[in-house]
């Protein structure tokens, strides 16, 4: 991540062994720097920036590096491994397809594709009637944008305006980056889409639960002042289910006001469920926290249990807007990913991952509350639902808040815990949902120790 370079030089750190961790070499492990250098020679540098650990094996909630050091994973590879790394049901399902063999069908159909889509639609439940499968999350957010605009043309809106939120993020392809507010990231595009509008995010420190509706109305007024006709110029809203870097959820009343507005104007409400979907927040889908049902949503990451699977799920009327062939992709609904996706849904059901995540989320919140009480000068707050949480740091002594977040992340790594380094004042915590309570308690203890050691050196 920009702004902090983790040292790739092996450093002597205390060795340790618990049921869940093993650190027996220098960290990064010897040999790491050589592999990073090889990658630097052959791969775009845009792929660099995370912890200097070469993953050799990942199983359940453990990650092993090339020297056999064992880490508790609190990243789920950025919320992919919801059902655990190397899940056996997923591996078996993929192996069966490989053994057939049936590797690709594209526009020609397969039975596993029918099986998966039936199960996916049943899992999503009404009003969602159809889905369209893709590979990357950013393709799914692009397809969502396309569907919103196609719907608005169908119903005769004058302009295809999409309203998104400042600070939200939707991927790295052109439409996705246009919906993102980050100016630096989208500078390469060279022009603004005049019909993508950004409104402010109701950050929890600015807008309380009962102010959500008023806040939304103030944002509508701001749009009107910019010349947007609310009746004719808006095709729909695209909301990241929570704002990523801080796991920041909206006030329920804000989202409900958007839903009322979209229904009144017969326009669409879409969510980007990339990080929030498939049980991560203690609900099947994160939008359920707001007690609204969108018209369509984009998902990916945890959907495939580690294979490249993403998709858009929505009301049938919307999903059938594109003509035959106008919304498809060579690797859409590939047999391997359908087999994996089906296994993911079975795992979620069999292990009651929705209710278990809700329960474990409460435990995580209690543990983070203890940390917050212990370090009032270091920690600003924590946010999240289920097994996605952020810890937000404060400036302290000679450290800025984002330096502190980076230093704590690095210290945790040296002690056998991987957290999500955001490059900002937060660290994000998102273990595989199958993590044990005991491992979770141990992980938060490591964060505690790391903060403590950093302060002691001040
Ligand atoms: C909220 C959100 N939307 C979209 C994306 C893009 O997904 P992908 O990286 O699979 O293209 C991401 C990825 O991190 C994301 O977090």
Task: Report yes or no: 69 and 29 within 8 Å, Cβ to Cβ.
Answer: yes
Q: Please give the distance, rounded to the nearest whole angstrom, from the Cα atom of residue 137 to the centre of ligand 1.
A: 5
Query: Which residues neighbour 158 within 8 Å (Cβ) at sequence distance 6 or greater?
Result: 229, 232, 233
**CB 242 less than 6 A from any atom of ligand 1:** no
pLDDT tens sequence across 193-224: 999 999 999 999 999 999 999 999 999 999 99
Task: Check residue 294 and give its pLDDT.
Answer: 98
Query: Which single residue is written with the structure tokens 């955001």?
Result: 422
**CB 273 less than 6 A from any atom of ligand 1:** no
Q: Please give the distance, rounded to the nearest whole angstrom, from the Cα atom of residue 236 to the centre of ligand 1.
A: 20
Q: Please give the distance, rounded to the nearest whole angstrom, from the Cα atom of residue 138 to the centre of ligand 1.
A: 6
Q: Let me know the angle formed at the C-alpha of 278 by 416 and 78, rounded to the nearest 5 degrees.
A: 35
Task: Check residue 107 and give its pLDDT.
Answer: 84
CA distance 215 to 201: 9
The fraction of the chain above a pLDDT of 70, given in percent, is: 99
Task: Check residue 167 and give its pLDDT.
Answer: 96
| Span 129-137, average pLDDT | 98
CA distance 275 to 277: 6
- Rounded to the nearest integer, the mean pLDDT of the chain is 96
Q: Is the pLDDT of residue 2 over 80?
A: no
pLDDT class of 4 with cuts at 50, 70, 90: confident
pLDDT class of 397 with cuts at 50, 70, 90: confident
Task: For ligand 1, pick from 80, 275, 278 the residue to mutate: most ligand atoms within 8 Å of CB.
Answer: 275
Task: Check residue 3 and give its pLDDT.
Answer: 61
Alpha carbon distances (Å) from 257 to 77, 210, 389: 34, 11, 25
Q: Please give the distance, rounded to the nearest whole angstrom, from the Cα atom of residue 17 to the centre of ligand 1.
A: 35
pLDDT tens sequence across 159-185: 999 999 999 999 999 999 999 988 899
Atom of ligand 1 nearest to the CA of 138: 11
Q: Taken in order 274, 276, 280, 286, is the CA torsion positive or negative?
A: negative
Q: Please give the distance, rounded to the nearest whole angstrom, from the Cα atom of residue 77 to the centre of ligand 1.
A: 12
Task: Check residue 49 and give its pLDDT.
Answer: 78
Task: For ligand 1, pick from 165, 170, 174 the residue to mutate: most ligand atoms within 8 Å of CB.
Answer: 170
Q: Please give the distance, rounded to the nearest whole angstrom, from the Cα atom of residue 139 to the centre of ligand 1.
A: 9
CA distance 437 to 443: 10
The fraction of the chain above a pLDDT of 90, given in percent, is: 94
Query: Which residues neighbour 320 within 8 Å (Cβ) at sequence distance 6 or greater?
Result: 130
At 247 the three-state DSSP class reads coil
Q: Is the pLDDT of residue 1 over 80?
A: no
Rg of the chain (C-alpha set): 22
**CB 274 less than 6 A from any atom of ligand 1:** yes
Task: Check residue 456 and give its pLDDT.
Answer: 76
Residue nearest to atom 12 of ligand 1 (CA): 171
Atom of ligand 1 nearest to the CA of 276: 1
Q: Please give the distance, rounded to the nearest whole angstrom, from the Cα atom of residue 80 to the centre of ligand 1.
A: 11
Q: Please give the distance, rounded to the nearest whole angstrom, from the Cα atom of residue 174 to the centre of ligand 1.
A: 13
pLDDT tens sequence across 249-308: 999 999 999 999 999 999 999 999 999 999 999 999 999 999 999 999 999 999 999 999
Comparing CA positions, the residue from 293, 427, 273, 279 lying closest to residue 345 is: 279
Alpha carbon distances (Å) from 228 to 238, 389, 417: 17, 36, 48
Q: Which helix (H) or strand (E) is 45 found in, with range?
A: none
| Span 415-438, average pLDDT | 96
| Span 82-89, average pLDDT | 98
Q: Please give the distance, rounded to the nearest whole angstrom, from the Cα atom of residue 351 to the centre of ligand 1.
A: 26
User: Strands, DSSP E only, in 365-407?
Assistant: 379-385, 388-393
pLDDT tens sequence across 339-357: 999 999 999 999 999 999 9
Task: Check residue 217 and give its pLDDT.
Answer: 98
DSSP string of 172-228?
SSHHHHHHS--HHHHGGG-S--TTEEEE----TTT--GGGHHHHHHHHHHHHHHTT-
Task: Check residue 113 and give its pLDDT.
Answer: 97
Residue nearest to atom 5 of ligand 1 (CA): 171
Q: Higher model confidence: residue 80 or residue 183? A: 80
Residue nearest to atom 7 of ligand 1 (CA): 137
């Amino acid at each position: 991540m920009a702004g902090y370079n983790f040292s790739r030089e092996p450093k002597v750190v205390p060795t340790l062994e618990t049921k869940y961790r093993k650190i027996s070499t220098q960290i990064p492990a010897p040999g790491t720097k050589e592999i990073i250098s090889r990658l630097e020679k052959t791969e775009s540098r845009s792929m660099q920036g995370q912890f200097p650990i070469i993953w050799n094996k990942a199983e359940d909630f453990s990650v092993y590096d090339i020297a056999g050091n064992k880490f508790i994973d609190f990243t789920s590879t950025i919320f992919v491994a919801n059902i655990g790394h190397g899940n056996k049901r997923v591996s078996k399902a993929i192996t069966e397809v490989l053994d057939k063999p049936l590797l690709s069908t594209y526009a020609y159909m397969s039975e596993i594709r029918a099986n998966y889509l039936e199960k996916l639609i049943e899992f999503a439940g009404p009003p969602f009637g159809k889905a369209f499968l893709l590979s990357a999350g950013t393709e799914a957010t692009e397809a969502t944008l396309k569907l919103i605009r196609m719907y608005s043309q169908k119903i005769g809106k004058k302009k295809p305006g999409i309203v998104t939120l400042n600070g939200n993020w939707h991927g790295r392809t052109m439409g996705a980056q246009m919906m993102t507010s980050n100016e630096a990231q989208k500078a390469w595009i060279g022009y603004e889409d005049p019909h993508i509008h950004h409104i402010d995010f109701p950050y929890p420190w600015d807008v309380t639960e009962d102010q959500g509706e008023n806040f939304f109305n103030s944002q509508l007024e701001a749009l009107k002042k910019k010349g947007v006709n609310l009746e004719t110029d808006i095709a729909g809203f695209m909301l990241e289910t929570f704002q990523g870097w801080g796991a920041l959820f909206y006030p329920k009343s804000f989202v409900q006001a958007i839903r009322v507005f979209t229904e009144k104007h017969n326009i669409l409400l879409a969510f980007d469920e990339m990080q929030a979907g498939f049980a991560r927040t203690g609900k099947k889908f994160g939008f359920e926290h707001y007690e609204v049902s969108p018209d369509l949503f984009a998902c990916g990451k945890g959907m495939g249990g580690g294979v490249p699977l993403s998709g858009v799920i929505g009301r049938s009327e919307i999903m059938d807007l594109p003509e035959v062939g106008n919304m498809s992709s060579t690797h859409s609904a590939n047999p391997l990913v359908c087999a994996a996706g089906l296994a993911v849904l079975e795992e979620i059901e069999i292990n009651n991952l929705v209710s278990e995540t809700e329960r474990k989320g409460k435990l995580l919140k209690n543990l983070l509350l203890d940390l917050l009480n212990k370090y009032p000068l270091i920690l600003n707050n924590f946010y999240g639902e289920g097994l996605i949480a952020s810890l937000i740091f404060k400036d302290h002594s000679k450290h800025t808040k984002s330096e502190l977040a980076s230093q704590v992340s690095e210290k945790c790594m040296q002690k056998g815990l991987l957290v999500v380094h955001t490059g900002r004042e937060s660290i994000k915590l998102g273990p595989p949902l199958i993590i044990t309570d005991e491992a979770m308690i141990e992980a938060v203890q490591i964060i505690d120790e790391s903060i403590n050691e950093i302060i002691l050196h001040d």
